[in-house]
Structure 1
Amino acid sequence: MRSRIPILLSALMLSLLLPGTGAAAAAGAAGADRTAADRAEDGRVLAYWTPARIANAKFRDFVRTDSGKMVPHAKPGGGGGGGGVVTGSSWANGGAIQQRSGRILFSSGGSDWICSGSVVNDSSTSNGYSIVLTAGHCVYDGADGWSYNFLYLPNFDAQPSYDCNTRADGCWRANLLTAHDDFVPAGFGSNETVRVDYGFARVGLRIAGAGTAELDAATGGYGLNTASVADSVTKWAFGYPAEGKYKGNDLIYCAGPTTADPYGAPTWGVACNMGGGSSGGPWIFGTTDPAVHTTGTLLTSVNSYGYSGVQYMFGPKFNAQTQTVFASATSGTASAGVSVVCAVGTSAPNC
């Protein structure tokens, strides 16, 4: 039997290193609206992300065997496209897609990582928080538990900088993470868990510099498409890959009709050669022209994994349970049998 070798795509360190910041920067424009505990945690996380730690951040790169066992090291497939299919190209249209797509810094298991993510509309720009969508394996790992030191940096293509004080769209610290109940505690590995490899981070107010107090007020947010969508419908996958020809500071996209996983996993794929660093990037559905993806655009999946030598990216199919996990991120309350919630308030949460 041919061995199944999906590659878990996570994050790769970038070459753009910026000065570290301390607790004094954490007050920001919205300092009066934050508790002393919030400001202390903001300062701790900002101080944590030194240039050295950013330089040493890496992507989680795993081979998945046909038995579901995870072992380290694999390389993504490559190649070109044709017939209107885009397998990896720089997004040149800016706009809402660029503003709402960003990079994620986080720690897990004593190591530092980078993923991609996007802003989801929580129906309010004045409730003191916003919601970021990413891959489940960017918020939780079966061996290492929940992620921490979690920062989201929107619009990274236009602002390829980790300096939270000078970035126009700032930095946003997660204070709560949610994942599907089937993803916790096993983590990525089986058909059951790749099916739900998505997670949501609830971020508070901007933690450094000046500007808008809420992330979604600055960037807007996507809706979620949780209705059934057939294969062979075109999707656009976005992310910040940072290996091979990709450097991690350019928003890359793939486009094409979806297809089923060739080895029977309950996921779908799109022709794509993005690799490490793109995990958690959004899949867009809702129009035939990606250049007009603005108000009303819906997300239908995230970048999750690929197969060695196969030029496709695969991701979970959003459904009603995805909406429930999202609702748990907004409310902070788990839904029995569907979602798990972790409050992130320490350097290594134990939820």
Structure 2
Amino acid sequence: MRFSYRRQPLLAATGLIAVLALTATACGSADGGTSDKPDVAASRTADRDGDGVPDVIADRLEEHGVDVDDWQGGGWKDWDEEQWLGEAEEFFNPVIEDLWDAERMREAEDPAKTISSQDASVDQGVSDPPPAPVEATPEKTPYHVNAGPVGKIFFDSPEGAMVCSGTVVSDENRPGRSNLVWTAGHCVHAGSGGGWYRNIVFVPAYNDLGRSEEELAAGAPAEEVAPFGQWWADWAATSDEWIAGGSQEGGAGAAYDYAVLHVKPEAGSKSLEETVGSALDVDFSAPAASGIDSLGAWGYPAAPPYNGLTMFRCIDRPGRLSLDASLPTMYRIGCTMTGGSSGGGWFRMVDGAPRLVSNTSIGPADNTWLAGPRLGKGAKALYDDLSMSYGGR
């Protein structure tokens, strides 16, 4: 164990190469990719009726008595257990036009995921001492220039409209034209005993100029609130461990609390990566915390003292957090960001470029640190499956 904690410099005066250089353009030619898709891809996206709902989903909806037209007309508000789709292959998220207007986005709340400091200190695995708090720093505006791949995720839950954070990531089967977004599992699925959340959209560089609540309420231009538009998730994937063991306090699923979205625009034909201008590679082989000098976490904290309208970041040397000896060890950094930053990407520099290595999952009630899963084989398999199934779309 590492019994002493020492603050690390932020990699010289450039501050993690211009604060992790989040606008670095993804590599790869636009015409690359995989030409042959496995059978699972065709079966998952086949649409015999041409109504935009894949056959496999249509069959599931019929089993649950869900009518697509009724759903779009307000039926999604019914959270009856029989209609709360929860299994991995049941994700359903049809576009509902004009649902997420500026006011509804502004009023959405955070889905807080916390554990008490006591719970964190009595684990049976290997943990380092809690880090000293790192005060979150507001990101420079405009966000689309300084942190282009970072954005805000909106979704509906039984408790109402909620928010998380997310990151545009590259797609190995669609180089240069990715439509993939990385976030936390608890931002798309309620975990044990629950199901998929609804009306999930990603808004890159939300509130681009960091306007105040009063300025937004007065009617900020749409191009400032959502400079790249709204991107609806047409498929989502999270870990089986989160679906089976995730809870409001993180639970046994916290170490597997990650998710990938495939999104599409409300209008237009360009990919998310082409529209935003960048996407980050995901590093599924990042070393343990002791092998990383600095990690940066980005997001939109929404719980007090924050209001979810401004993008923040924290940079710190990571330590280890183990919630149980049977669970994978998580990364942990000092950070004062609160709920709403959940799902926001954690980045490190590799060969001069930023790569995503984790996402915000849980933190303590006193908001002094954040913890995120270490991405490995399971996360890579999840990403690969979604990329192979949807990468050509």
Q: TM-score w.r.t. structure 1 length?
A: 0.68
> Which of 380, 384, 387 is the matching residue for 1:327?
384
Give secondary structure in 2 for the equivalent of 1:45.
coil
238, 245, 251: which one aligns with 2:305: 245
Q: Is 1:213 matched up with 2:270?
A: yes
Percent identical pairs in the alignment equals 22
Question: 2:372, 2:304 → 1: CA distance?
Answer: 21
Paired residue for 1:344? none
Do residues 107 (structure 1) and 166 (structure 2) align? no
Q: How far does the alpha carbon of each residue in 1:235-284 deviate from its partner, in whole angstroms, 9 at most, with x for none?
A: 00110112323232222111111111275562121110000210000000
- Greater share of residues in helix: 2
Counterpart residue identity of residue 168, structure 1: P
- The one of 177, 193, 201 aligned to 1:151: 201
Among candidates 93, 97, 100, match of residue 46 of structure 1: 97
What residue is the counterpart of 2:139 in the other structure?
91
**1:184 matched to 2:233:** no
Equivalent pair of 2:345/2:360 in contact (CA under 8 Å): yes
Give the Cα separation in 1 of the matches to 2:222 and 2:97.
9
Aligned counterparts, 1:5-154, within 5 A: 37=52, 44-50=95-101, 53-54=104-105, 56-64=107-115, 86-92=134-140, 98-109=147-158, 111-123=160-172, 124=174, 130-142=179-191, 143-154=193-204
Give the drift of 1:111: 2.3
Per the alignment, do residues 195 and 134 of structure 1 end up closer, same or farther by CA in structure 2, a change over 3 Å counting? same
Verify the 8 A CA contact 1:164 1:171 in the aligned structure 2. Answer: no
| Distance change in 2, residues 1:52/1:135 (3 Å) | same
The residue type paired with residue 151 of structure 2 is: G
Q: Give the Cα–Cα distance (whole angstroms) in 1 for the partners of residues 383 and 317 of structure 2.
A: 26
Q: Shift of residue 192 of structure 1? A: 3.5
Indicate if the aligned counterparts of 2:140 and 2:146 stay in contact, CA closer than 8 A.
no
Shift of 1:80: 8.0
CA distance in 2, matches of 1:162, 1:145: 35
The 1-side partners of 2:236 and 2:298 are apart by: 22
Instruction: Tell me by how many angstroms 1:308 deviates.
Output: 2.3
In 2: Cα distance, 1:178 partner to 1:162 partner? 33
Quote how far apart the aligned CAs of 1:225 are: 1.1
Partner of 1:201: 261
- The residue type paired with residue 298 of structure 2 is F
Choose 1 or 2 for highest CA Rg. 2
Corresponding residue number in structure 2 for 1:235: 295
Quote the residue 2:331 is aligned against.
268
Offset of residue 125 of structure 1:
5.7
1:330 alignment partner, SS class: helix
Structure 2 segments unaligned to the other structure (5+ residues): 1-49, 54-68, 73-92, 121-130, 211-219
The CA deviation at 1:43 is 8.5
Cα distance in 1, alignment partners of residues 152 and 313 from structure 2:
14
CA distance in 2, matches of 1:251, 1:52: 18
User: 1:202 is matched by which residue type in structure 2?
Assistant: H
Contact 1:98 1:251 in 2 (8 A): no
Is the alpha carbon distance of 1:308 and 1:325 closer, same or farther for their aligned partners in structure 2, counting shifts above 3 Å? same
Distance 1:314 1:115 in 2: 15
Residue type of the partner of 1:224? V
Code of the aligned partner of 2:368: Q
Q: For residue 321 of structure 1, give the secondary structure of its aligned residue in structure 2.
A: helix
C-alpha change, 1:162 and 1:178, in structure 2 (3 Å) is farther
Distance 1:190 1:165 in 2: 34
1:302-323: CA deviation from partner (whole Å, max 9, x where unpaired): 0111112361110100112211
The Cα offsets for residues 60-80 of structure 1, whole Å up to 9 and x where unpaired, read as 235547889xxxxxxxxxx98
- Describe the shift of the 1:95–1:159 C-alpha distance in structure 2 as closer, same or farther (beyond 3 A): closer
Specify every segment of 5 or more residues in structure 1 that has no aligned partner in the other structure, as ranges: 1-34, 69-78, 334-351
**Is 1:281 paired with 2:332?**
no
User: Matched residue pairs, number?
Assistant: 274
Query: Residues of 1 paired with 2:157 and 2:253: CA distance?
Result: 18
* Structure (1 or 2) with the greater strand fraction: 1
Once residues 242 and 255 of structure 1 are traced to their aligned partners in structure 2, the CA distance between those partners, rounded to angstroms, is 19
Q: Is the 8 A contact 2:94 2:199 kept in 1?
A: no
CA gap of 1:162–1:64, structure 2 versus 1, over 3 A, is farther
Task: Specify whether residues 97 and 148 from structure 1 end up closer, same or farther in structure 2 by C-alpha distance, changes over 3 A only.
Answer: farther
Q: Answer whether contact 1:87 1:255 (CA < 8 A) is retained.
A: no
1:223 aligns with 2:267: no
Q: Which amino acid aligns with 1:272?
A: C
Could you say if the C-alpha distance between residues 163 and 44 of structure 1 is closer, same or farther in structure 2, counting changes exceeding 3 Å? farther
For residues 338 and 224 of structure 2, the distance between their equivalents in structure 1, rounded to whole angstroms, comes to: 29
